[in-house]
Amino acid sequence: MDRTQKTILYVTTILLAIIILIIFGKIFMFERGKEKMSGEVDIDIVNKLYNYLPENNDYQLESVYNKFSSFENININIIEAMIVNYLVNYDKEKIENITNDELINIGLDTSQFKLLYKISKDNLIYGSKMVFGDNKNIIFKDASIDKKTIGKYYDDTLYVYQTLENVDNNNIVYRKINKYSIEDDKTIKIYDSYVICDKSTSICYSDDKKTIVNSNITYSNGMVFEDYKDNMKQYEHTFKYNNGNYYWLNSKAI
């Protein structure tokens, strides 16, 4: 092997070594970044907190998907929906069965409704502390959990039932968690993609009030929303930690 060949072999070997180091370096940095983003938080906790938010329900009236939402600027429909979501999913012993007689006593025609459950004021207050933290002054009242589910507040009890009538609904909602992080003070931030589409017009929106058109997505029957995730609006949901419990602080568009 002459000197030129040795030089070429030497240079090629060095270049291959550099390329290998760059590849492994990128893999290492990616894994480090991924670990930093997820931290040490349990994915089950992330999913639990995410379910506090008004669920992915095509019949939803409104939720926390707009410019900025916090306890101070959401209405009673959202507040009670979040409390009910928590109790139904994570503290079922705090909800009770209801009977036809009870609905009749509060003036409802039982032939028009499907009975779900009832929640006492004490348990609503308990649920509010778990979802929103302490020291929240909530005046419970009648509320629409969504277009089909109603809460009738009567005699310090929330009676939850569903209408059996057909409810016109043109909405289809998609949301999905993209990533999450945990900060030094245990604050958890969840980032997701969101879109709501009107099936009758095929127009899609980036907010739950359907005021911001998403011109990058047009609804079609059978479309795979996952394929359009990069074109959806991103939201950040913040949950604070206090006295052994996480509670929702705010949600905002980013």
Domain boundary among 115, 144, 163: 163
Contact 228, 195 (CB under 8 A): yes
Q: How many domains does the chain have?
A: 2
Contact 232, 186 (CB under 8 A): no
Distance CA 143, CA 153 (A): 8
Whether residue 23 is contained in a domain is answered as no
Task: Supply the pLDDT for residue 7.
Answer: 56
Residues 157 and 187 placed together within one structural domain of the fold: no
Distance CA 64, CA 208 (A): 7
Which range among 22-26, 47-51, 243-247, 248-252 shows the weakest confidence by mean pLDDT?
22-26
Whether residue 109 is contained in a domain is answered as yes
Whether residue 9 is contained in a domain is answered as no
Mean pLDDT of 148-175: 89
Cα separation values, 216 from 47, 195, 198, 219, 235, Å: 28, 11, 14, 10, 17
Whether residue 29 is contained in a domain is answered as no
Of 161, 172, 225, 160, the C-alpha closest to 198 is 172
Residues 184 and 237 placed together within one structural domain of the fold: yes
Residue 23 binned pLDDT confidence (cut-offs 50, 70, 90): very low
Residues 101 and 188 placed together within one structural domain of the fold: no
Task: Supply the pLDDT for residue 12.
Answer: 59
Residues 129 and 213 placed together within one structural domain of the fold: no
Mean pLDDT of 67-90: 94
Residues 107 and 156 placed together within one structural domain of the fold: yes
Residues 115 and 186 placed together within one structural domain of the fold: no
Write the CB contacts of 55 (distance below 8 Å, at least 6 apart in sequence): 85
**Tens digit of each residue's pLDDT (9 = 90 or more) over 105-138:** 887 777 788 889 999 999 999 999 999 998 899 9
Question: Dihedrals φ, ψ of 75, to 5°?
Answer: -90, 175
CA 183 to chain centre: 19
Structure tokens at 140: 């419970």
Residues 72 and 98 placed together within one structural domain of the fold: yes
Residues 151 and 74 placed together within one structural domain of the fold: yes
Residues 150 and 211 placed together within one structural domain of the fold: no
Structure tokens at 210: 């359907």
Residues 215 and 233 placed together within one structural domain of the fold: yes
Cα separation values, 66 from 9, 174, 194, 198, Å: 60, 15, 10, 17
Whether residue 118 is contained in a domain is answered as yes
Task: Supply the pLDDT for residue 33.
Answer: 35
% of the chain exceeding 90 in pLDDT: 62
Cα angle at 47 between 45 and 52, to 5 degrees?
Answer: 95
Range(s) of the domain holding residue 110: 68-163
Whether residue 204 is contained in a domain is answered as yes
Residues 242 and 211 placed together within one structural domain of the fold: yes
Task: Supply the pLDDT for residue 217.
Answer: 98
Distance CA 83, CA 225 (A): 28
Cα separation values, 80 from 119, 137, 213, Å: 11, 13, 28
Domain boundary among 163, 183, 203: 163
Whether residue 229 is contained in a domain is answered as yes
Neighbouring-strand partners of residue 160: 117, 151
Burial 98-119 (b: 16+ CB within 10 A, else e): beeebbeeeebeeeebebbbbb
Residues 99 and 153 placed together within one structural domain of the fold: yes
Q: State if pTM tops 0.85.
A: no
Whether residue 5 is contained in a domain is answered as no
Domain boundary among 128, 163, 198: 163
**Tens digit of each residue's pLDDT (9 = 90 or more) over 185-217:** 899 999 999 999 999 999 999 999 899 999 999
